[in-house]
């Protein structure tokens, strides 16, 4: 293919499409026909493959995939806009084959598009190819007529410097639209608004730059935006160049307004936050106080609490990377592989976590896709460095920029970047971050600072407190510690380093003090305070070993949600009476190939054995949407949450479904396994699965009728629960998805995390419909979504007819005690009153008032 540089400095631009070549005058859009963006030619395409018109770097390629601009090594920008008014298709019909920042060869495929679909939705298919600079003279222009991809379109003399049309920005790029605004956000451009701006910028065709304090940032990069250090009252310049520049500036303004509205919502929620979370959010201005008793260090309580234990340090292992790479293509591919591996792992952690963890992981996922980091790393790779070296350098540069800011909230985000850096470096080395780091019993963890994933990798049963010489009260690790109920002191200063491993310590996070040399008396006193608290907990765990009954004797099964054999063992230790949800998609998530039937039998059998004969509700693989599997590539979907998900994927891939069902049916003893169907919307889906099960049972010679259940995760399933129950033996409410699909709020959306409340009256009404259908049919109604572990929600669920709750293992002892104190008649009465309320906060207030919500 062409794309070679002419000896006389002529840049050859080759046809990126096959079709009919014409003048720009033929384009039914004044912007192109009037040469407002530059001179060029147009092609009416006859095939849906768009290739690079010259070698260079992809400068812009919006998520909608309808336009692309490429910069040649001489700095000439060529813009290609597929069809006219195609931005409105929102990406439908377009599949990008490269990403912004990629370096491509002339003739390399950039975008694939569905010619018919785009033709139906666009004003015209005619595609302008323009050089976006003034003073450029096109030579050897192709005459109108038939053209094949790769044919010469025109040449450009590049001896004279290329002059961008309107005034350039700080990076020397042209600006077609701009606006200067004063930032009204109370916290300035911190992580959340930066992420929102970056997401919106990625959807724009124009290249957008944000500038403040004499610095500028690519608007697609969260880290670059944060590094601008913009505070409330500062001026921010939004500059956009290229196609749809004015729309891009408007999109940035709209994003800032949205961030402002969302900040107001967050602040009102934070002021009503429960004590532990509020403590993590508030910064106690106690640091720097004079120390009192000898050996007493003072710090800031990031999470309140009291503990006695022995000092334990975890050393952060330096991850070795070699500087030299093994070729740019290899290293780029390695980085891509590591990034997608980490993305999958983090998505899994996010999905299994509570709202706090989801919010934090969403921010980490954003860093993985950050163009600032990716561009930085790719530049180093192109210069011969290894993927690890390049990624580390790119993250360290961003960390240095954040640490130079005088805004503590932004400085604390550096820890999140370090965490993401370590995840990727380990993935490059072929390792995963360990799920558990070793700790001695009763450990008070000492460190200069701690990363979120380091904290979650610790064995919670051995950890009594965390004490940091540095740290930030609003850091994500502090928020996580609050969620884990681990007392945490920060800002204890360098003196913390002189404490020897194994030394007895008293951590009084409530009082902001750490005693590093406590007297025997003080230890004894502190121990007895902690012991009485532990005794209460031990009694709770011991009592959890029996069957669970409500106060009036109604049997309520308390089951566990599992994703591994380790979970199954933890569940039994916590008093689980069975497994209410085995997320089978998690068992084989890191694989390149689908698990065989035998491999699945082995995994399911081990979990059944760990459960020691207790029932095992095995959910058929719930893939698609936000749970992609490498071994099951699905076609790109505009809206994956509404696409091939759950049972729909199974029905589309009967081979995989049959292998899984056969494996489930082979688990012994027969009858222990019940099968649960995910994401059901229609009884036909259930009868189809039932038919396959019947066929497999006769293939296996099994007479036993296996119990089948339907997940109630969509409003459709809840409203037709009675019909569903004619097909199945039980139903299980998946409140996580039911909330997402009822409120039309993405369950993984960081900014909406606090509003995705399953106690919204609309969701209560859907659960009430399912509960009533179950009672009428005399069949079990379970809940396996996160709401089952929400103490406030429990009386409502029981009042709506739910008789099985399935939760994370650690929540079981407390849940059993809570249920044991409730009378079903009171629960019914409360549920009835809550169904008529207007908002989740009214529901929560009513539960609080009733006194049935248990201890917080
Ligand atoms: C749910 O949606 O509530 C559920 C339990 O399924 P998952 O969280 O695995 O989607
Ligand atoms: Mg679900």
pLDDT digits 0-9 by tens, 469-510: 877 655 667 767 776 778 998 888 888 888 998 999 999 987
Where is pLDDT greater, at 89 or 571? 571
Determine contact, residues 207/375, Cβ cutoff 8 Å: no
Of 341, 476, 760, 818, which is the active-site residue?
A: 476
784 is catalytic: yes
**Phi, psi at residue 645, to the nearest 5°?**
-130, 155
Using one digit for the tens of pLDDT, what is the confidence trace for 515-553?
998 999 999 998 898 888 778 878 888 889 999 999 999
Test site for ligand 1: of 584, 585, 678, most ligand atoms within 8 A of the Cβ = 678
Ligand 1 centre to CA of 63 (Å) is: 28
Least trusted range by pLDDT, from 64-68, 271-275, 302-306, 744-748: 271-275
What is the number of H-type helices and E-type strands within the chain? 27, 34
Asked if residue 468 has pLDDT above 70, the reply is yes
What's the pLDDT score for residue 554? 98
pLDDT-based confidence at residue 673 (cuts at 50, 70, 90): very high
Q: Which atom of ligand 1 is nearest to the CA of 785?
A: 3
What's the pLDDT score for residue 475? 64
Asked if residue 279 has pLDDT above 70, the reply is no
- What is the average pLDDT score of the chain? 85
Instruction: Say yes or no: CB of residue 713 within 6 Å of ligand 1.
Output: yes
Q: Which of 710, 715, 712 is nearest to 689 (CA)?
A: 710
> Any idea what DSSP says for residue 810?
G
DSSP string covering 349-400 = HHHHS-HHHHHHHHHHHHHHT-HHHHHHHHHHHHTTB-HHHHHHHHHHHHHH
* 37 C-beta neighbours (distance < 10 Å), count: 24
Q: Which residues is 444 bridged to in the sheet?
A: 311, 465
What's the pLDDT score for residue 836? 94
Q: Which of 209, 234, 212, 231 is nearest to 221 (CA)?
A: 209
Least trusted range by pLDDT, from 21-25, 687-691, 824-828: 21-25
C-alpha span between 608 and 612 (Å, rounded): 6
> Any idea what DSSP says for residue 207?
E
Instruction: Say yes or no: CB of residue 358 within 6 Å of ligand 1.
Output: no
Where is pLDDT greater, at 657 or 65? 657
Least trusted range by pLDDT, from 286-290, 313-317, 795-799: 286-290
Test site for ligand 1: of 567, 585, 629, 737, most ligand atoms within 8 A of the Cβ = 737
Instruction: Say yes or no: CB of residue 350 within 6 Å of ligand 1.
Output: no
pLDDT-based confidence at residue 314 (cuts at 50, 70, 90): confident
Instruction: Say yes or no: CB of residue 67 within 6 Å of ligand 1.
Output: no
What's the pLDDT score for residue 792? 93
pLDDT-based confidence at residue 284 (cuts at 50, 70, 90): very low
Asked if residue 268 has pLDDT above 50, the reply is no
Q: Which residues is 468 bridged to in the sheet?
A: 447
Encoded tokens for 21:
């070549």
Share of the chain above pLDDT 70, in %: 87
What's the pLDDT score for residue 271? 37
What's the pLDDT score for residue 748? 65
Of 54, 548, 697, 784, which is the active-site residue?
A: 784
pLDDT-based confidence at residue 806 (cuts at 50, 70, 90): very high
What's the pLDDT score for residue 856? 46
Instruction: Say yes or no: CB of residue 787 within 6 Å of ligand 1.
Output: no
Burial of 250: CB neighbours in 10 Å, binned 0-12, 13-18, 19+: middle
What's the pLDDT score for residue 160? 43
Grouping H, G, I as helix, E, B as strand and the rest as coil, residue 208 is: strand
pLDDT-based confidence at residue 200 (cuts at 50, 70, 90): confident
Which residue stretches of 561-710 are H helix? Answer: 565-573, 597-610, 647-652, 654-666, 683-700
Ligand 1 centre to CA of 401 (Å) is: 39
Using one digit for the tens of pLDDT, what is the confidence trace for 323-369?
999 999 999 999 998 998 888 888 777 766 555 566 677 778 888 88
Asked if residue 559 has pLDDT above 60, the reply is yes
Report, in angstroms and rounded to the nearest whole number, the Rg of the chain calculated over CA atoms. Answer: 30
Using one digit for the tens of pLDDT, what is the confidence trace for 589-600?
657 788 999 999
Grouping H, G, I as helix, E, B as strand and the rest as coil, residue 106 is: coil
pLDDT-based confidence at residue 641 (cuts at 50, 70, 90): confident
What's the pLDDT score for residue 316? 66
Q: Which atom of ligand 1 is nearest to the CA of 627?
A: 10
> Any idea what DSSP says for residue 470?
S
Q: Taking residues 274-299, what's their average pLDDT?
A: 48
Instruction: Say yes or no: CB of residue 736 within 6 Å of ligand 1.
Output: yes
Q: Taking residues 154-179, what's their average pLDDT?
A: 65
Ligand 1 centre to CA of 517 (Å) is: 48
Where is pLDDT greater, at 302 or 150? 150
Least trusted range by pLDDT, from 80-89, 229-238, 329-338: 80-89
What's the pLDDT score for residue 461? 85
Q: Taking residues 716-724, what's their average pLDDT?
A: 98
Q: First and final CA of the chain: distance in angstroms? A: 68
Q: Which atom of ligand 1 is nearest to the CA of 678?
A: 6
pLDDT-based confidence at residue 849 (cuts at 50, 70, 90): very high
Asked if residue 282 has pLDDT above 50, the reply is no
What's the pLDDT score for residue 408? 67
């Amino acid at each position: 293919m062409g794309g070679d540089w002419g000896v006389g400095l002529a840049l050859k631009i080759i046809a990126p499409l096959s079709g009919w070549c014409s003048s720009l005058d033929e384009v039914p859009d004044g912007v192109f026909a009037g040469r407002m963006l530059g001179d060029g030619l147009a092609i009416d395409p006859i095939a849906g493959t768009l290739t690079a018109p010259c070698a260079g770097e992809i400068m812009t390629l919006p998520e909608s995939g309808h336009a692309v601009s490429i910069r040649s090594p001489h700095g000439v920008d060529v813009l290609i806009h597929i069809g006219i008014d195609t931005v409105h298709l929102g990406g439908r019909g377009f599949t990008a084959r490269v990403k912004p920042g990629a370096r491509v060869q002339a003739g390399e495929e950039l975008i694939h598009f569905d010619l018919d679909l785009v033709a139906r939705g666009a004003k015209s298919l005619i595609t302008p190819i323009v050089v976006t600079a003034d003073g450029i003279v096109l030579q050897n222009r192709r005459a109108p007529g038939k053209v094949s991809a790769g044919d010469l379109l025109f040449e450009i003399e590049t001896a004279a410097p290329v002059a961008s049309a309107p005034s350039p920005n700080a990076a020397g790029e042209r600006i077609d639209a701009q606006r200067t605004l004063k930032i009204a956000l109370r916290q300035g451009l911190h992580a959340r608004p930066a992420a929102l701006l970056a997401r919106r910028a990625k959807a724009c065709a124009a290249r957008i730059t944000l500038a403040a304090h004499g610095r500028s940032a690519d608007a697609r990069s969260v880290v670059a935006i944060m590094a601008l250090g913009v505070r409330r009252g500062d001026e921010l310049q939004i500059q956009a160049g290229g196609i749809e520049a004015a729309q891009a500036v408007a999109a940035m303004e709209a994003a800032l307004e949205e961030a402002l509205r969302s900040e107001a919502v967050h602040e009102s929620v934070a002021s009503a936050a429960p004590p532990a979370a509020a403590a993590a959010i508030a910064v106690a201005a106690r640091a720097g106080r004079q120390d009192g008793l000898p050996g007493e260090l003072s710090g800031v309580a990031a999470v309140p609490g009291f503990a006695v234990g022995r000092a334990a340090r975890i050393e952060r292992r330096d991850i070795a990377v070699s500087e030299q790479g093994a070729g740019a293509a290899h290293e780029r591919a390695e980085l891509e592989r590591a990034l997608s591996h980490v993305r999958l792992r983090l998505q899994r952690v996010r999905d299994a976590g509570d709202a706090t963890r989801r919010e934090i992981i969403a921010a980490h996922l954003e860093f993985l896709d950050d163009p600032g980091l990716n561009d930085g790393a790719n530049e180093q790779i192109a210069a011969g460095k290894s993927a690890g070296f390049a990624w580390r350098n790119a993250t360290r540069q961003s960390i240095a920029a954040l640490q130079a800011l005088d805004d503590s909230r932004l400085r604390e985000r550096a820890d999140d970047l370090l965490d993401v850096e370590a995840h990727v470096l380990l993935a490059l080395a072929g390792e995963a971050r360990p799920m558990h780091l070793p700790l001695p019993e009763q450990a008070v963890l000492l460190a200069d600072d701690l990363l979120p994933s380091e904290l979650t990798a610790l064995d919670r049963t051995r950890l009594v407190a965390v004490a940091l010489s540095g740290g930030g009260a609003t850091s994500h690790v502090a928020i996580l510690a609050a969620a884990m109920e681990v007392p945490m002191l920060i800002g204890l200063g360098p003196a913390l380093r002189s404490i020897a491993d194994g030394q007895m310590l008293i951590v009084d996070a409530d009082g902001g003090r750490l005693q590093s040399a406590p007297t025997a008396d003080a230890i004894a006193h502190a121990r007895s305070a902690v012991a009485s608290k532990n005794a209460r907990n031990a009694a709770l765990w011991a009592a959890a070993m029996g069957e669970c009954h409500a106060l009036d004797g109604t049997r309520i099964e308390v089951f566990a949600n599992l994703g591994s054999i380790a979970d199954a063992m933890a569940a039994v230790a916590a008093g689980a009476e069975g497994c209410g949800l085995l997320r089978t998609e998690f068992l084989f998530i890191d694989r390149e190939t689908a698990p065989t039937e035998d491999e699945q039998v082995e995994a399911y059998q081990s979990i059944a054995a760990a459960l020691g004969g207790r029932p095992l509700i095995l959910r058929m693989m719930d893939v698609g949407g936000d749970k992609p599997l490498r071994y099951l590539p699905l076609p790109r979907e505009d809206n994956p949450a509404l696409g091939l998900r759950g049972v729909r994927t199974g029905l589309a891939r009967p081979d995989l479904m049959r292998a899984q069902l056969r494996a489930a049916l082979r688990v012994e003893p027969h009858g222990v396994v019940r099968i649960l169907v995910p994401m059901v919307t229609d009884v036909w889906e259930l009868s189809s699965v039932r038919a396959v099960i019947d066929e497999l049972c006769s293939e296996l010679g099994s007479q036993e009728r296996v119990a089948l259940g339907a997940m109630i995760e969509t409003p459709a399933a809840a409203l037709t629960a009675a019909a569903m129950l004619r097909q199945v033996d039980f139903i299980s409410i998946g409140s996580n998805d039911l909330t997402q699909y009822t409120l039309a709020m993405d369950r993984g959306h960081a900014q909406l995390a606090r509003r995705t409340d399953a106690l919204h009256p609309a969701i209560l009404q859907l659960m009430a419909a399912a509960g009533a259908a179950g009672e009428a049919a005399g069949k079990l109604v379970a809940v396996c979504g996160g709401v089952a572990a929400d103490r406030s929600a429990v009386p409502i669920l029981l009042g709506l007819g739910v008789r099985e709750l399935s939760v994370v293992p650690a929540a079981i002892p407390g849940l059993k005690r809570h249920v044991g104190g409730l009378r079903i008649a009171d629960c019914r009465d409360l549920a009835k009153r809550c169904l008529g309320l207007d908002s989740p906060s009214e529901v929560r207030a009513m539960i609080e008032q009733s006194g049935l919500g248990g201890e917080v």
